[in-house]
Structures are given as structure tokens and as C-alpha cells.
Structure 1
Amino acid sequence: MNDVIIIGGSFAGLAAALQLGRARREVTVLDTGLPRNRFAGHSHGLLGHDHKPPLQILAEARQQLARYPSIRLVNARAESICGTIDDFSVLIGGESLRARRLILSYGVADQMPAVQGFAESWGSSIVPCPYCDGFEVAGQHWGLVWSGPQSHNHVRLYHDWTDTLTVFADGHEIAPDIRADLARRHIPVVEGRIIEIGRHGSRHATVKLDSGPDVAVDILFAHPRNKPSASLHESVGLATVNTPQGIAIKVDERRETSTPGIYAAGDLANPLMASVTLATSHGATAGIFAQQSMLV
């Protein structure tokens, strides 16, 4: 029997495995090889790995984990989970693996809107996170696709990187008091729905609307909804929390879910913001507390 099975082998899952492997716990990591940030050319903000391609960072991490004999990396998708603390089962390819603890780190998948060119531009000329990409395009003309009241916070946040911002309402109602604040900040609001994104090189984008002229920006920020990359948490009834972009698994300060013995880390369990740094931190936390929960 495994001490821990980790479902999802990106930044959070591998960080958890590292802590458990160093504690000489028997760990199996199941991974499909489709991390959320695979569309990004570079990852930023992770100490020691700033401006490296995310897939390169993950490949180096897997190489480093090879020195720990108790860690097994398996390229497979978990089909189902069941059981209780000290006796969980994970089904993969008709084979049932058992473990005392589970860590769910299978992440989320962004749901691209039905706008021509949007998916093709995602991760290059359309990005979601200023902490991840803002420095590289600081001082340039930014665009923001309005997605709800939370977008007002993004407007204030972006001011640390640029003084030139255009808001695209994209059919959303923007409250009069928020519009007044945008006007005070000299931020134009472009009405109409976005029907196409024209991409020019690795960054620049042209936003085409159902009415009015096209608008060119140097980078476009957008926050499409996302959903968990698997539904395993539903099958065991884990509590969740609603976020403006989707749902996240509810965890406590130890990263333990509402079911004893099941932990969650990474974007799947972070309702605040997606970040490689936070995913790595939360994964390490989940690994450490999963290990400590098995002490006798």
C-alpha cells in the first residue's frame, strides 16, 4: 500500500511528492502531462526559475525526484477514487491502487469563450495574470475584458504596471459608480461584444467588435471561467467554494479537505489566484501535513 497517492503531477503535486519522498514515504504520482500553463512560453515569479518555460521547470523537477526511491511517477489518469482514511482506492486502467492518504492536485481547465482567435491567442497575446506576465509588458497599452464586478479590482491592480488601459465591456453591465471611477482614472470603456481576436506576433492583439472600429492593444488580459480538470472530488462529496471564475475545493490551513485524509493543492484548491509559486507552496504544505497525519 502507498502512504500517499498524488493525483496531478504539475507544480503542486511534485512539490508534495518531494516533501513526502524526503520523509521516505511511499508515494505514487499520477499525471496526464497537461499542466494548465503549458500554453505559456515562460513562467515568472518562481524563485530560482524565473523566466523559464514551465515545461522545462517540470522536467527538471521530475529528474530531481528520481533520486528518491520511494517516489513513483506514473503517466496515467485516475478514473475514480473511493474509500476512507487509511484505506483509499484509486482506479487507473482497470488496476486499483491503495493508499492511506490522497492529495488532489489535478488543477483546473480554462473554458475558452466562443470567440474566434481567443483560444489560439491564450498564453501569448491574451493572459490572465499581471504577476506572471506584467513586467514584460510594463508601460504598454493593456486591454482588459470585463468579466464582472471583480474586474474593477483588476483596474486598480494594473496601475502598478501601466498607465494606459482600455476596458472592453463585452456586453457586461458596468455599474454607474464604477464607470465614474473609470472616467476619473481616464480609462476608456469600449462597448459592444468581442467577436474576434486578431493576433500579431507573440503579444499584440486586435480586438474586433460587433459594432464600432477594431481596437489594437499590446496585451489583452482576460479571466474566462474555469472548471476542475477532473470530477473526482465530486464522487467523494468534497466541499467546495464558489469563485468569480469557477469553483475550488475547500481546504483548511493544512490543505486538508472536508474528508479526513484527502488533501488538495494548486489551482484546484486556491480560490484567490493562480500562481506557480503558490501552487508549489501549497503542494509542499499538503505533503508535509499528510505525512504528519500518519505519525504514530
Structure 2
Amino acid sequence: MSWIRESELSLLQKIAANILKAGPMPKHVAFIMDGNRRFARKKNVERQEGHMQGFNKLAETLCWCQHLNIREVTVYAFSIENFKRAKAEVDGLMELAKQKFTRLLEERDNLEKHSVCIRVLGDLTMLPLDLQQLIAKAVFETRTHNKCFLNVCFAYTSRHEITNAVREMAWGVEQGLIKSSDVSEALLSKCLYSNNSPNPDLLIRTSGEVRLSDFLLWQTSHSCLVFQSVLWPEYSFWNLCEAILQYQFNYRSIQKARDLHREEQELQQLEADRACVAEVLQHHGNGKPADAQRRQEALLHYTACREERVQDFLEALKHKRDSFFTDLASQAVLA
């Protein structure tokens, strides 16, 4: 089954889509695709068939998102917690992933036609090496595409992602790229696996579960969360429309919360910069208070230096991560 489908909506679906697009539309939607195993039990088929049907539904859902002008989709494909499942099921999921990423690489022309960028977020070192290489090649070959973005969270949990971001900042301090005083909530956000993406506007979980299950905990603090009872392989265009309507009904309160949080972050950063400047001035001024002009000049200088340090650190971090994917992709070519 293809990752990127080219199919038209029915007349009724087109009408509904046009009505929805008249209101505020989510630009980034995240899915917890839950219910594949329950679907398999319901249909009395093997679990692997349930997971296969789940992938097919993802391809169909991506097509709907294209028609609705949703440019970015993030999906929870495989949690680190899933490694605790029966070995046969985990092996089956790894094999399914290999098949699907192999198929993805066979669809280069289609991906290029629609300019789809594939990103895989998670700790790839937990995966079999051949799957790591396939994933890296898919990420590497679509890295310049910029019309649609599909983020696949694989070997992922949010706590693991946040812990890794803290390690990255610690690495930056150890390397002398940033100071410990540069560490902030905003910087941590830029060290997450998802640093290239805006936070999701809408998160949808299927199957009736009302938990986030360690998925995008940091990124969805100001997102619209919608929990739907339908099993993922049975998800429909109308289920997606219902979720978008809930986003539209709550749009103003969501935007207000985001704006307030952004203002709070800016204020916290300003206060942190002022505290650092005050310490520097006190140290160099032999305890004498500096006048307002000198404090302002020192603050502007310190802020500019901090922003430059942070930018250099983020570029170094990007180079480190890009090199990881590039090296894996080159191994795949040689193999």
C-alpha cells in the first residue's frame, strides 16, 4: 500500500471540506493511532493484520489532510514501551516498518511530486541496524521537500525525548558552546526531536482511550486534545471533520493561552538576562550601582551575545544530528 495516495473526495466530502476551510484550520495535526489490536480481535484476524490495516488507514488519512490543507502530520507509530510486548509482535512490527520504509523509498517520484518531507522522531539506536539505515535514507532523501511534512514517532516517548534534550544542553555546556545560564524552557524546546516543527494545533487519539501515553507531552501543552471512540483502522473522513470542528470551537481560547505563554517566556528570559547582567556589573563595578544607561547597554550586549551563543550551539546540534542520518544513509547505499 502506497504512503501517498492520490484520490478525490466525494461531492459531499468536498462540500464539508470547503465549509471547514472557511474557519480557522489546524496547520499541524498529531495522531495517536490506537486500536489496531482491538480491531484485529473484533475482526478475528491476526494482530499483524490489524497493524497492516492501521498503516493503510494512515495513508488514507494523509490524503484527507492534503485535501484539507493540513501541511503537517505527526503520528505515534511505535512507543519505546511497545518493546515490552511479546517478541513475535515486536518482530512483526519491525518487519512491517522495514516493508513500509522500503516501499517509501520506491515512491521517490511521488514524494518529490508532492514535496513530502519525512522526519522520524525517536531513539533510532534502539532499532535493528537495517531498519535504522532505511529510515535514515528516507529522511535524507526527502530532507529538502517543503510542502508537506510527515513526522513518524518511532522508538519514541516524550519523557525520553525531554531527557535527551536535557543531555543535549549539557553537551553544549560541556563543549563551551553555551553557558549554564543560557539554559531555558525555550532552548529546551529547540533541543527536542521535533525542533523543526511548530507545536501541533490538534491532537487526536482514537479507540476511546483518554490518555496521551507519553506522546508529545511538552509540545501539546497548548493544543486542542480530541479523544474519539472509533478504532484507528475504522477511522473516517467524518471523524476527522468532527475533530477539526472541536478545534475550531476552541480556537480562541487556545490562541489566547499560547499568546500568554509566549509573553511569559519572553518576560522570564528578560528577567534572567537582567539578573546575569546585574551580577556582571556588580563584579566589575566593585559593588557600585550602575546608572540606567549603562545597565541598558550592558543588557543589550549580553542579550546579543547569548543569542549568538545559542545560535552557534543549535547549529552544532543540527550538524551532529544530520551527520547521524547522513552516515546511516551512506551505510545503506554501500550495503
TM-score by length of 1: 0.24
Higher strand residue share:
1
Higher helix residue share:
2
TM-score by length of 2: 0.22
Computing the radius of gyration over CA atoms, which structure comes out larger, 1 or 2? 2
